[in-house]
A and B are shown apart, each in its own frame.
Chain A
Amino acid sequence: MDEQTRLNLEQRLEDVLRRDLGTIPVRPFAMYNRPSRAAAVHPIRRVFSIAGAAAVIAVVILVALAAAFALRELKPTPATVPVSSSSPSPSSAASAQPSATAAVAIPTPVAAGAITGRFSYGSDFLPAVTVYAISTTDPRVWYAVDFPGLGQPPRPTPQPGTSGATYTITGVAPGTYWVVAYRKDGQFPDPGYYSQGAICVRTTPSGPCPDLRPIPATVIAGQTTSGIDILTWGPPPGQPSPTIPPRPTPRPVAVVSTDRKSVSDGQIVLAIDNDQIVEWFRTQSQLCDGNINSTPDRRSFCTDKATFRDRTHFVSAVPTPDGMTIGFTIGSDTLAPDAVAGIYQRSTGAVRFLTSYYLGNQFISFSPSGANFIYQGGCYEAKCGLFIRDTVTLVERARLNELVGGERRQNATFVRWVSDNEVEYRLGPELKRVNF
């Protein structure tokens, strides 16, 4: 090959690789909780970022105003209707009250990741465990999933075609985590954990793999970190470095405080005058746009945070089993008994609103593992829809009681979760189930 041909080939190969590999979509790397990055952005880039954000906000405001004008035409005079109780009830409390069925754009959620792996245990069974992902930088931040165990007796039989000996922890904020499985039966060896041995076994199946030190798993936003296998059981000989983190203390259940101004688990988890809540009411609830002078106190509600706090309250709050996400319903004396449903992600501090501010909206409950949740919305003349979304991605899994000819013919009420992927609900007089 002459020099010129070689140079041409090299250039061509470089072009092909950059063109093809360089455009393979991958999600960017992100680490958990790095607020300082914003301050490190170059000033010119920051100006462009701010300009871009301002443009997006302007478009959102224009759309919201257009929707407001359209929807206020449909909005009726409020009537006296009983408010749902502080605990999420499957039954609908709405009476004959027309309300517009505004579809609300869900903001882009903060992308969480997941951790998955398999178990191996030196016996013909696997004990029941709780698998924890514990942040390497802050042990108070952790996620968990229960594994019921496998084998005799009396443990579940895996589904045909599966080993059953796998776990997946979803909704994990980007970052690095120790992955530790603590037994529920109090026996030894305990705990199991992800160690250097897991990598060694994968690369050198016949061993030896003497290094059993725990190693962290890195979670990337929006991606599933796989291969985090729990093969090592019991603390390694001597004092391991780094040490295996202790079993996290279960979080107290978050409930609505007695004054209904916060959600609390001993400490305030979410306050009613949280900036994101206040901002949503000011810009998205339609209470503070064209109607700001409709009642004497409306202007102060919209402009004064103390008044807002005084007139707004949590109707209900429901935590996920791990306590890291809280579903809520918020109402306001300014326009009662309308309400808005939303969820709060403790790991990111993000408040996400799921509905508009109208009568009948309410957060209902999370699925048994917390992977999905159901809420009620889109009510019209006491006929409501039910919506099921993924807790992490907020992707809609199912929509029950679809509109027919622009309206709902019957009311849908939630009955129970059959599993994480199936609910039972009542549509008019009929009891139904849906799998998703």
Chain B
Amino acid sequence: MNEAEWTSVLEECYARVLRALVGVSGSRETAEDGLQDALAAAWKPGVRERIERPDAWLFRVGVRMIRRGRWRTRREVTMDDNQTRIPGPGLDRVFALELLSKLSFHQRELVVARYFLGLSYREIANQWDISVGTATSTVSHALERLRHDLQKEEAGWTSKRV
């Protein structure tokens, strides 16, 4: 994949992957850092040529960066007050983030990969280097854990619409 093709792919999937990482991390800043690190990783010689599905690859690597990182410690470095920063809209009260926060980190990443990025269980298994059975059971356990909240949300949603 040459630079032009890579850029074109990024244009198509950048926002989606970033949103998926926000779903996993619950933080826009953390997600942006993770995605930035994933982009840096993709820059290494020979890496892009091996990527078959860029959105899944960037998401998986971004998640790994977030997971391994000492992000909280890093954030304790106070930034210069004078610098120009453009704050993004807040993520408070986003139901999906509340919902996902009830899952373990691993469950969260697979649930987002499955239901937001639309990866098949086979693709999840390939990306995370796990068996299809493990992917399926992890997502099933997550669904079980979210069952009560999802049913409550559905009831509320339905009654509002009526």
Residues of A participating in the B interface, judged by any CB pair closer than 8 Å = 1, 5-6, 8-10, 12-14, 16-22, 24-26, 28-31, 34, 114, 116, 118, 159, 161-163, 165-166, 168, 170, 176, 199, 202-205, 215-218, 220, 222-227, 241, 371, 390, 392-393, 420-421
Contacts and interface: CB of A to CB of B under 8 A. Distances in A.
B143 interface: yes
B36 A225 contact: yes
A420 B7 CA distance: 36
Contacts of B32: 223, 225-226
Contacts of A9: 143, 146-147, 150-151
Contacts of A205: 70
A118 B147 contact: no
Given A9-B143, A17-B112, A225-B36, A116 B83 contact: yes
Given A224-B86, A226-B29, A17 B96 contact: yes
B116 interface: yes
A18 B144 contact: no
Contact of B11 (A24, A29, A163, A202): A29
A10 B74 CA distance: 36
Given A18-B116, A31-B7, A176-B43, A12 B94 contact: no
B18 A26 contact: yes
A203 B38 CA distance: 13
A223 B153 CA distance: 34
Which one of B11, B29, B83 has the highest number of Cβ atoms from chain A below 10 Å of its Cβ?
B83
Contact of B85 (A29, A162, A224): A224
B99 to A, nearest CB: 6
Nearest to B74: A202
A43 B69 CA distance: 45
Closest 5 CB pairs of A and B: A20-B96, A29-B14, A168-B83, A203-B68, A17-B116
Contact of A28 (B11, B37, B99, B154): B11
B115 interface: yes
A202 B69 contact: yes
B77 interface: yes
A116 B32 CA distance: 13
Contacts of B10: 29, 31
Given A13-B111, A13-B146, A218 B40 contact: yes
B140 to A, nearest CB: 8
A159 to B, nearest CB: 8
A284 B143 CA distance: 60
Interface in B131-154: 140, 143-144, 146-147, 150-151, 153-154
Which one of B40, B41, B74 has the highest number of Cβ atoms from chain A below 10 Å of its Cβ?
B40
Contacts of A28: 11, 14-15
B66 to A, nearest CB: 10
A177 to B, nearest CB: 11
A211 to B, nearest CB: 10
Which one of A12, A371, A421 has the highest number of Cβ atoms from chain B below 10 Å of its Cβ?
A12
A24 B37 CA distance: 21
B78 A161 contact: yes
A5 B143 CA distance: 10
A13 B114 CA distance: 10
B62 interface: no
B33 interface: yes
Nearest to B89: A25
A234 to B, nearest CB: 21
30 contacts: A1-B143, A9-B146, A12-B150, A13-B99, A13-B150, A17-B23, A17-B112, A20-B94, A21-B94, A24-B89, A26-B14, A26-B19, A114-B85, A116-B83, A163-B78, A165-B77, A166-B79, A168-B83, A170-B83, A176-B43, A215-B44, A217-B40, A223-B32, A224-B86, A226-B36, A227-B36, A371-B82, A371-B84, A393-B84, A421-B82
A374 B144 CA distance: 60
B19 A24 contact: yes
B1 interface: no
Nearest to B147: A9
B19 A215 contact: no
B115 A6 contact: no
Nearest to B78: A162
A29 B15 contact: yes
A393 B69 CA distance: 32
A202 B154 contact: no
A201 to B, nearest CB: 9
Contact of A1 (B40, B77, B80, B144): B144
Contact of B150 (A16, A22, A34, A161): A16
Nearest to A6: B143
Nearest to A171: B84
